[in-house]
């Protein structure tokens, strides 16, 4: 099969658990490191799917790779090539398809619960799960593109995820590993400190301590989502999930 293209926008926000998931299933994938000045592919047709990871920048920033990424997402959707976005990646999908990315009412940083929407599309992606605790690190949020179906929300952020056909956009981070949490806390310690009065911003110590409790279940949810998303990339019947909730 053609590889999955994974776009990294900053060195500490790599594929994480997604890379482990794909490798363990012998799914080929290619890292495109925007932070290392890798060029945006000229076409989505060379890939089975596109995945956009997170980053501290805004999709509204004037960065040369953002219009190129938006155009690539639109091409992939037109070609029925599945697109997956995590946080910044979800915002890129939303903006590419006509949604707006704006400031969230508050910053949301740390391990916070999200609720799975009560609709058929959410159940198709999450199965019987109704809630789980996800990792968050964002100050912006997206509106839904036309025909997108909301699938997740949290008390701090109403738009935590949507589905549009084969395409999945997430505001939260299901790709986390313990090492990633430690790296983000180290790099983002100043941001956390400056927002420490916010109810939805946990301390660096708290986030690292909670990782041991929440990462296993977060990765089980991720496996369900990635399996469903890959079924579109492979143009076959849904893959059997190799872990259970």
Residue 174 belongs to a domain: yes
Q: Kindly state the average pLDDT of the residues 7-11.
A: 98
pLDDT by residue (tens digit) across 130-189?
999 999 999 999 999 999 999 999 999 999 999 999 999 999 999 999 999 999 999 999
Residue 56 belongs to a domain: yes
pLDDT by residue (tens digit) across 189-208?
999 999 988 899 999 999 99
Q: Rounded CA gap, 42 and 100, in Å? A: 25
Q: Phi/psi of residue 242, each to 5°?
A: -95, 5
Domain count for the chain, please give it: 1
pTM as predicted: 0.94
Q: How far is CA 193 from the centre of its chain?
A: 24
Q: Which domain holds residue 225?
A: 4-233
Residue 245 belongs to a domain: no
Torsion of CA 123, 163, 60, 9, to 10 degrees: 80
Q: Note the pLDDT of residue 222.
A: 98
Residue 239 belongs to a domain: no
Residue 215 belongs to a domain: yes
Residue 148 belongs to a domain: yes
**Alpha helix positions (H), 62-203:** 65-78, 88-96, 120-126, 178-187, 189-194
List the helix and strand counts (H, then E) for the chain: 7, 9
pLDDT by residue (tens digit) across 21-63?
999 999 999 999 999 999 999 999 999 999 999 999 999 999 9
Residue 243 belongs to a domain: no
pLDDT by residue (tens digit) across 232-243?
998 633 334 333
Q: Cβ contacts of residue 175 below 8 Å, gap of 6+?
A: 15, 16, 17, 18, 53, 86, 222
Residue 141 belongs to a domain: yes
Q: Note the pLDDT of residue 197.
A: 82
What sign has the CA pseudo-torsion 99, 106, 134, 70? Answer: positive
188: domain CATH number is 3.40.50.880
């Amino acid at each position: 099969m053609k590889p999955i293209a994974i776009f990294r926008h900053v060195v500490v926000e790599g594929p994480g658990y997604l890379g482990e998931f794909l490798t363990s299933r012998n799914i080929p994938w290619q890292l495109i490191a925007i932070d290392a000045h890798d060029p945006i592919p000229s076409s989505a047709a060379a890939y089975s799917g596109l995945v956009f990871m997170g980053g501290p920048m805004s999709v509204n920033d004037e960065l040369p790779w953002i219009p190129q990424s938006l155009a690539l997402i639109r091409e992939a959707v037109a070609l029925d090539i599945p697109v997956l976005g995590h946080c910044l990646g979800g915002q890129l999908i939303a903006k590419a398809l006509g949604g707006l990315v704006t400031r969230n009412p508050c910053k949301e940083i740390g391990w916070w619960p999200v609720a799975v929407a009560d609709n058929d599309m959410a159940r198709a992606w999450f199965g019987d799960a109704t809630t789980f605790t996800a990792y968050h690190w964002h100050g912006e949020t997206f509106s839904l593109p036309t025909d997108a179906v909301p699938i997740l929300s949290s008390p701090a952020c109403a738009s935590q995820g949507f589905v549009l056909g084969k395409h999945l956009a997430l505001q939260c981070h299901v790709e986390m590993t313990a090492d990633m949490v430690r790296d983000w806390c180290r790099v983002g310690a100043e941001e956390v400190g400056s927002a420490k009065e916010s109810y939805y911003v946990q301390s660096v110590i708290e986030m690292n301590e909670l990782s041991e409790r929440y990462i296993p279940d977060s990765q089980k949810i991720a496996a369900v989502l990635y399996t469903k998303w890959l079924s579109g990339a492979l143009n076959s019947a849904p893959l059997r999930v190799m872990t259970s909730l």
